[in-house]
Amino acid sequence: MGSKTFENTLERYRIALIGAINHPEIFKKLIKHGYDLKKLQEGKAWCEQLELLSHTQNDGQGEQKNATAEFEKARKEINTIYHHHLDIAKYVLQNDRRLWDTLQLEGPRKTSIPGWLSQTKAFYSNVHRVAAQMGQRGVSLSELTQTKEMLEAAAELRIKQAYKMGDKQSATEQKQLLKQKLDAWMSDFYYIVKFALKDDKQMLESLGIVVPSGTKTKARRKKSVDK
């Protein structure tokens, strides 16, 4: 269901319930069919809860997008530095391949986020072992340490991204479940309303229930007979 359709449906439910609560004549007729104030307020509370979950879902989606953008920005920045350091490491170790597996120098660079994090972490967790050789090629130990810290911060952003995604998913699932319950509840409510107010088109329409123009109520038929 699109956001516009969802909002329209929720507003329709709210209008019907608030109208039923606030209109004395309608309320009097509905209470005879088991829809007392407590029951009507239950439906209204579900509407409010569903609206809150919708806001939580939207907020979570925005926060998750922000976290994703932050991570991708950090990843791009680190990747530029990493590939430079990678080339230097391969050069200084071209005649000594003992650390190639440890630094994961062999093979293509992984593009998936888990694969990328694994490769870069393996590199920066062990590259200090060739810091002297790297230094001779213009890459200082402090630069390697700083890049490692950037990578650790990026990994934290990734955790934040996953956490926000989980929040969004949880709110979405709760919203879907509550929407199903509310839809069923309102279906029963509308059935009773239409039965209880079948003789009064105006009352039905005041609750947002549109009666086809060709439909005649008993009240109108009686009025026609009286004439």
What was the pLDDT predicted at 45? 93
CA distance 53 to 38: 22
- Numbers of helices and strands, H then E, in the chain: 8, 0
Tokens 């209880």 -> residue: 196
pLDDT tens digits for range 191-213: 999 999 988 889 999 999 887 76
CA distance 141 to 7: 57
What was the pLDDT predicted at 1? 57
pLDDT tens digits for range 5-43: 888 999 999 999 999 999 999 999 999 999 999 999 999
pTM: 0.59
Mean pLDDT of 181-193: 95
- For 219, the enclosing helix (H) or strand (E) is helix 218-226
Q: Residues with Cβ < 8 Å from 201, sequence gap 6 or more?
A: 211, 215, 217, 220
CA distance 68 to 52: 24
> Does position 216 have pLDDT exceeding 70, yes or no?
no
> Does position 59 have pLDDT exceeding 80, yes or no?
no
pLDDT tens digits for range 121-163: 999 999 999 999 999 999 999 999 999 999 999 998 888 877 7
**Vertex 57 angle, CA 52 and 60, to 5°:** 125
In DSSP notation, 156-172 reads: HHHHHHHHHHHHHHHHH
CA distance 95 to 6: 65
Structural tokens at position 17: 């319930």
